[in-house]
Structure 1
């Protein structure tokens, strides 16, 4: 982590809790920093107990009046988990209720049509070159890879040269959401495009170099990618409402287009569904089920053809 010096009376138990959570597959970076803040808070207020009490917990969770509800909710989640851990080792503790949960935003994914995707990629393809920028080389490959492999933006930006095997035609995605690793195949057209990209960008690069790098040879940052994406949307004539389309909608579009293609070609979705779930890096089928529901909503005439087969796969109502 870092050089923080733990100092409260329950510091050892906090560190035990962090280790346990990381053993279950969570990275817990942000929670680790918040736990350090709680340790410092316990020390500052003179807490000397071996279990959490309500006064201590409420002071930490609600003592800063200007904090957002989302921050308070993260504190509640963290301390309730810590309290449960303390209880299991024989230190009775106050389990904080999670009452600050922010309202969930509802966002309907934007599913690009094939024509819109063509216009979007063409806008990136034709971006003029500039001696102080490499975006005319990077962007058209990056956005095609995100769509063509159903990647999350962070997965694309975290790729290193060693993770892109153009001989095997695969990408290795490491430490992704839910701390999952996976290897996924690429289409032949993407492999060819990446080979050309490597000749232009990585002829002398070290294997640890970020695949999509900035002009200064560093990892391309999220905000830069989003800014460029919105510019390409504008050139492609695709309106941006303020909330979307987003880069993540390329991943949504990949999933829906994939499912639509399988249905139209008579594929057995019950057999292919687990493969799609693994390809996307979902922790379980619930994340992938969402795309089945979305496909059914967008293309009811198509899905109705195989309704008998899909009935038990496509859940009723809104999926999580």
Structure 2
């Protein structure tokens, strides 16, 4: 391991950054070094500007991906190299597409077609609490507070802790799961043993298989369960600020995005052609 790489890791640890953030920063710096075949501490501002142009023009990366690259490289220069840089970045226009939205019936079909009890339970908890996949696989038995009916999420997005509400249905599912698997540390442990958490890739694979077995033609990912939780809760009348807390959004504007995906929600539009006869 190079001294520069170790220094970057140490700075991330000092600031309490999550392992995921650290890895994304390391990846960004590594990609920059590979592009020029030289150490990042010898790269000029002009080279940096050209590199970010290449990410957009040559690799056609999204603005979100480019921003992740910029965060990692900026962290290296500011906190490790103690050097400032000023570059002009042209951000590609970000498409505003609406993701696939699953109905309650479709979610139930997917879960029912998940063949393994452990993964079936994980999909139920994922949807029933509106979690992120990383939060689900990192859940521990001790994080469940049966008295308060909550699940403690550690180091969620933004490296923040929060409590999410566990409904009676989710608690019932978890009780049945624990009686069968008797988890002691990681709530959902790996086939390698209880001391290992289940891998995120395994959960995604189980989800894709369940979608296929359910015969759904919609293009969806396991994250669609989180979107389904949010949209279904809004349709059921959950206040926006409560949904924000449950999802772990720092900015309520992120939560408000779901309102734009549900134009039919509380829609008072009138049928302007209701009294027309023989509309063609």
Please give the TM-score of this superposition, normalised by the length of structure 1. 0.66
Following TM superposition, by how much is the alpha carbon of 1:122 offset from its aligned partner in structure 2, in angstroms? 2.0
| Secondary structure of 1:97 counterpart | coil
Q: Secondary structure at the match of 1:151?
A: coil
Structure 1, unmatched stretches of 5+, are 128-135, 263-268, 306-320
Counterparts of 1:235 and 1:152, CA distance in 2: 23
Q: Deviations over 1:25-58 (max 9, x none)?
A: 997403542576499899966968xxx7435535
1:144 to partner: Cα distance: 0.9
- Measured at CA, do residues 121 and 28 of structure 1 come closer, stay the same or move farther in structure 2, by a change above 3 Å? closer
- The verdict on how the C-alpha distance between 1:151 and 1:34 changes in structure 2, with shifts beyond 3 A counting, is closer
2:210 maps to 1:232:
yes
Of the two structures, which has the highest relative contact order with CA contacts closer than 8 Å and spacing of 6 or more? Answer: 2
Equivalent in the alignment of 2:149: 169
Which residue in 2 is equivalent to 1:154?
134
Q: What residue in structure 1 maps to residue 261 of structure 2?
A: 294
What is the Cα deviation at residue 287 of structure 1?
1.0
Which deviates further from its counterpart, 210-219 or 280-289? 210-219
| Higher mean displacement: 179-188 or 101-110 | 101-110
Q: Is the 8 A contact 1:80 1:97 kept in 2?
A: no
Task: Give 1:73 deviation, angstroms.
Answer: 5.9
- 1:64-87 CA distance string (max 9 Å, x none): 9xx84547665445445666779x
Cα RMSD (Å):
4.1
Q: How does 1:6-155 map onto structure 2 within 5 Å? A: 6=4, 22=15, 28-34=21-27, 37=30, 53-55=44-46, 57=48, 68-70=59-61, 74-80=68-74, 93-99=84-90, 101=91, 104=94, 106-124=96-114, 127=115, 136-155=116-135
Q: 1:254 and 2:229 equivalent?
A: yes
Q: Does 1:194 align with 2:170?
A: no
Q: Residue 275 of structure 2 corresponds to which residue in structure 1? A: none
- 1:171-197 deviations in whole A, cap 9, x for unaligned? 111111111211112111211111110
Aligned counterpart, 1:309: none
Shift of 1:159: 1.0
- Structure 2: where are the runs of 5+ without partners? 270-280
> Does structure 2 conserve the Cα–Cα contact (< 8 Å) formed by 1:150 and 1:280?
yes
Residue 110 of structure 1 aligns to a residue in which SS?
A: coil
- Going from structure 1 to structure 2, the CA distance change for 1:261 and 1:81 (only over 3 Å counts) comes to same
Sort the Cα spacing of 1:174 and 1:196 in 2 relative to 1 into closer, same or farther, 3 A: same
**Counterpart pick for 2:187 among 201, 211, 222:** 211
